[in-house]
Amino acid sequence: MNIQDNYLKNSNNIFFSQNKEVQNHREKLIYNFENDSFDRKNNESLKNVNPKNFIDFKYKYLIPEETSVINNNHENSYSIVSVNGQCSSFKDDKIEISKILVEDYNDFTKNDTIDKNDHFVNLNSLFLNSGFKIVIKKNNNIKIKISNIITDDDLTTFQKNNYICEEGSSLNLIEEYENKNNSTSNILNVIKLEKNSHLNHFLIQDNSPNHSLIVTSHSSCKKNSTYNQKVYNFSEGYVRNFHYSELVETNSEVDLQGVFFLKDNNTSNNKTFVKHLAEDCKSNQVYKGILNDRAKATYFSNTHVDQVAQKTEGYQLSKGILLSDNATYFSKPELKIYADDVKCSHGSTIGPIDENAIFYLRSRGMSKIAATKILISSFINEELSSIDNEQMSEIIQKKLVRYLSKVK
């Protein structure tokens, strides 16, 4: 079935399909899909991906009626189980959870930071069938843990979530993706940080081989706000992490970090993009990958410094360990700088494990396999030791041990 037929057939299950402005936007997207008028050659969203697998849908769109659960464990701590991309409404004096509104959708489509050729973001806009909005109220400091659950096989969720951190608020957000059914989650997180707000965002991804996860985020930071994102990808199925950030007012900071552990024939595509649009802002983009067997990965990192963004500090780093001759990791760092008083750098090192280090450790009595494992752990030591949440640190350690147990 083609895109247009698919859309028309399922439009009753797709959010905002009666809204004129949304309809206009979607008609343009359908036209582009039908006429294949997206740039294919330089399209980062299509690297290592067969778009047909994600366009010729055989999936269900109708989200089953399930009730999500919200527990207020402690005074400042919330635990949410999001079922099939849905979350029940909830309100107290610290947070408010509600459905996303058509205004949120239209606001987002006007933003030009995300590549207009991004197939997955366009599919998300076209077939949007789930999502929620969470507002952290002014001057509150809270923790939220979200478990993202998909209940059915052959289900595709096109989910748009909005997070708004109001002035002076602070949010510690842990998201878990651990799905075992044959399904696809296409998630777009739109994150707004108001003045003096802070968000530490952890994403733990550990899906089975038949679950595809596509996560895109767009964050914007106002004055003195910080957005820190850490992605831990242990999934055995396809995962894409594309994360965009705009520093729109002075003294704001963004840190986008990720580690991925791939094996077998698995693929992971990653991208971080930071746009500096104001003075005195800082950004850091670091991705590290460990690839075994015939695994493939890409990482595109981009720093764009606008001409008004003087005194910018922007750093990029990409590192990879290839545990097999058949594993491949494509990394492409980019800097576009239009201001003259900036400190920016980028670096990329990908290669097999250091044989001299292996020899050194073995010469002290360690077996080759133990030496390899200790070197892999040390490669991501910084990312592991910076987790200040004990429970999460334990979860990540267990997943790492599981991955290492398969390394020969």
Partner 1 sequence: MFLEIKDLSVKIENKNILKGLNLNINKGEVHAIMGPNGSGKSTLANVLAGKEDYEILNGKINFKDNDLFDLNIEERAQEGLFLAFQYPVEIPGVNITPFLHSAINSKRKRMNEEEIDNLSFAKLLKSKASDLGINIDMLKRSVNTGFSGGEKKRYEILQMSILNPELAILDETDSGLDIDALKIVTDGVNKLKTKNNSFLIITHYQKLLDYIKPDYVHVMVNGSVVKSGGSEIAAEIEKDGFQKFL
Q: Which residue has the tokens 């464990």?
A: 73
Does 362 engage in binding with partner 1 (CB under 8 A)? Answer: yes
Binding mask 199-238 for partner 1 (x = CB under 8 A): ----------------------------------------
**Sign of the C-alpha dihedral computed for residues 11, 17, 20 and 26 taken in this order:** negative
For residue 109, what is the enclosing H or E element? helix 102-109
DSSP structure string for 309-378: -TTEEEEEEEEEEESSTT-EEEEEEEEEE--SSEEEEEEEEEES--HHHHHHHHTTT--HHHHHHHHHHH
Q: What are phi and psi of 5, to 5 degrees?
A: -60, -40
Does 394 engage in binding with partner 1 (CB under 8 A)? Answer: no
Does 151 engage in binding with partner 1 (CB under 8 A)? Answer: no
Residues 300-339 touching partner 1, rule: CB under 8 A, are none
Count of residues of this chain found to bind partner 1 when the rule CB under 8 A is applied: 22
Output the smallest distance, CB 394 to partner 1, in A.
18
The β-bridge partners of 369 are none
- Binding partner 1 (rule: CB under 8 A), the pick from 69, 339, 353, 366 is 366
Output the smallest distance, CB 253 to partner 1, in A.
25
Q: Which stretch binds partner 1 (CB under 8 A): 24-32, 138-146, 316-324, 367-375?
A: 367-375
- Binding partner 1 (rule: CB under 8 A), the pick from 342, 374, 404, 407 is 374
Does 77 engage in binding with partner 1 (CB under 8 A)? Answer: no
Residue among 206, 212, 179, 144 at smallest CA distance from 398:
206
- State the DSSP code for 173: E
Q: Whose Cβ is closer to partner 1: residue 248's or residue 317's?
A: 317
Q: Which stretch binds partner 1 (CB under 8 A): 44-52, 108-116, 217-225, 379-387?
A: 379-387
Residues that bind partner 1 (CB under 8 A): 354, 356-357, 359-368, 370, 374-375, 377-382
